[in-house]
């Protein structure tokens, strides 16, 4: 912290100590508390205001603005907590009113300080944001090859789920060869690893191909080595038939899902959203007047427009108002920031606190971003709705292995059954190739429709 050395500032610091002389302070507090108070006075330009030191104005908004400034200057939470303690003592002894709720501020800063201690570092959202051309926070204790791959994945804007999957396969490959220096290994060892997965691990063909994709990414993008035998070891994927819920099952299942999860349920089924698209939906992309949803950066980095079901318009309006109220509370506490994709955080540095960028389904907690280290409110966790749906399936006694994506499958199938054009369904789903959408015609049609079973003869 850089403080001015003017005589007036020094006088303020010394008089602050006289004002709180009755408090028993530790040595470090006697050193730093006057400096934090001095910094507060200088931030609000009260140095030459003529106010006596025992009458320095202090309100909730003034304290919060000062703390935000410290945060924006990358001052860690434990030091901001120290600053709050310094202001709290002065407020109790000199002002003696309830204009500032210091307990709320201290409680939140203690929580943030604990998070920073557990992570071992502090990163400001403005200085390091993974996925915006930066690598974010990388653990230096990891093997070098893992750290290199993690940096490359983040610089190329790969999602966190892909990063975790690919890193997991590289770690298993390291365990297979028993060596962290993968530059010594190539086609033979990769083939042995994939064979062991298929024969001993008995994994599905899609899992084997994911492992191959992770290893190939490492060799191509990190080591700049071409792997020429991909086609020969890639497993043949079986024909996929998605799980589809009937209309009666959709209605029955909805009775056992409530609250915010019920809104997500009808949004995924009624608009054909993927689970991630629903979780990541932002306020600005919902148009209640036109009853449309603009899906941003979906699979393949494509945008598309789909419908907002009429039956949930009022609930969606209420949800957005609830998010607005929560956002105002977060701003008052010095938070309210949200993740911005690509380079938007650099281009529009204040947009992260704008309400329009907030998630429609925010997390109930403010947590630390595992990549950038920034502390903020993210969208609802991916396991929350999935767990709720599993419980609802059991209570509704529907014996199908239905994941959240089954609601999107059901959306497409029921549209086609109702006579919708397949090209329209393709646009609503965001499929690049109509052959991908054609899978729902196979699910919709009964095989051997014109043939009578001998058991019924």
Show which residues are catalytic.
274, 299, 405, 408, 431, 440
For the chain, the first-to-last Cα distance in angstroms comes to: 88
CA–CA gap between residue 10 and residue 447 (Å, rounded): 87
Q: Taking the CB of residue 48, how many other CB atoms lie within 10 A of it? A: 8
> What H or E segment, with its residue span, contains residue 114?
helix 102-119
CA–CA gap between residue 246 and residue 252 (Å, rounded): 10
Cα 165 off chain centre by: 17
Provide CB contacts within 8 A for 190, sequence distance 6+: 173, 212, 215, 227, 233
- What is the DSSP annotation of 342-363? TTHHHHSTTGGG-GGGSBSSEE
What's 37-101 look like in SS3? HHHHHHHCCCCCCCCCHHHCCCCHHHHHHHHHHHHHCCCCHHHHHHHHHHHHHHHHHHHCCCCCC
Q: Answer yes or no: are the C-beta atoms of 444 and 411 closer than 8 Å.
A: no
Secondary structure class of 365 (helix, strand, coil): strand
* Rounded to 5°, angle at Cα 379 from 142 and 289: 150
CA–CA gap between residue 66 and residue 334 (Å, rounded): 9
């Amino acid at each position: 912290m850089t403080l001015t050395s003017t005589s007036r500032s020094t006088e303020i610091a010394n008089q602050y100590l006289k004002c709180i002389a009755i408090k028993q302070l530790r040595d470090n507090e006697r050193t730093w508390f006057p400096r934090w108070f001095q910094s507060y006075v200088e931030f609000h330009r009260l140095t030459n205001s003529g106010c006596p030191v025992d009458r320095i104005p202090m309100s909730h908004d003034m304290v919060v603005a000062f703390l935000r400034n410290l945060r924006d200057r990358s001052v860690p939470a434990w030091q901001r907590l120290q600053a709050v303690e310094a202001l709290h003592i002065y407020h109790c002894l000199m002002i003696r009113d309830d204009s500032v709720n210091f307990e709320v501020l201290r409680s939140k800063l203690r929580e943030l300080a604990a998070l920073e201690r557990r992570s071992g570092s502090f990163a400001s959202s403005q200085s390091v944001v993974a996925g915006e051309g930066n690598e974010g926070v990388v653990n230096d204790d990891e093997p070098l090859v893992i750290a290199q791959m993690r940096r490359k994945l983040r610089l190329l804007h790969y999602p966190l789920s892909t990063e975790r999957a690919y890193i997991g396969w590289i770690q298993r490959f390291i365990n297979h060869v028993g060596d962290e220096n993968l530059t010594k290994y190539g086609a033979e060892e990769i083939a042995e690893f994939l064979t062991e997965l298929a024969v001993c691990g008995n994994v599905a063909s899609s899992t084997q191909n994911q492992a191959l994709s992770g290893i190939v990414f490492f060799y191509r993008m990190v080591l700049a080595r071409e792997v020429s035998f991909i086609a020969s070891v890639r497993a043949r994927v079986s024909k996929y038939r998605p799980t589809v819920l009937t209309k009666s099952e959709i209605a029955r299942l909805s009775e056992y899902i409530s609250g915010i999860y019920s809104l997500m349920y009808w949004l995924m089924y009624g608009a054909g959203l993927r689970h991630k698209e629903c979780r990541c939906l932002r306020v600005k992309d919902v148009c209640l007047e036109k009853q449309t949803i603009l899906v941003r950066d979906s699979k393949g980095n494509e945008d598309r427009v789909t419908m907002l079901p009429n039956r949930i318009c009022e609930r969606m309006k209420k949800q957005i108002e609830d998010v607005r109220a929560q956002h105002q509370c977060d701003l008052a506490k010095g938070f309210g920031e949200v993740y911005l994709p690509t380079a938007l955080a650099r281009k529009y540095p204040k947009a992260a606190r704008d309400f329009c960028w907030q998630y429609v389904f925010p997390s109930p907690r403010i947590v630390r971003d595992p990549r950038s280290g920034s502390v903020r409110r993210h969208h609802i966790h991916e396991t929350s709705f999935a767990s709720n749906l599993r419980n609802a399936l059991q209570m509704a006694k529907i014996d199908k292995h239905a994941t959240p994506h089954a609601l999107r499958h059901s959306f497409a199938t029921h549209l086609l059954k109702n006579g919708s054009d397949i090209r329209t369904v393709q646009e609503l789903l965001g499929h690049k190739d109509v052959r991908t959408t054609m899978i729902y015609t196979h699910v919709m049609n009964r095989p051997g429709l014109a043939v009578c079973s001998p058991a019924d003869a």
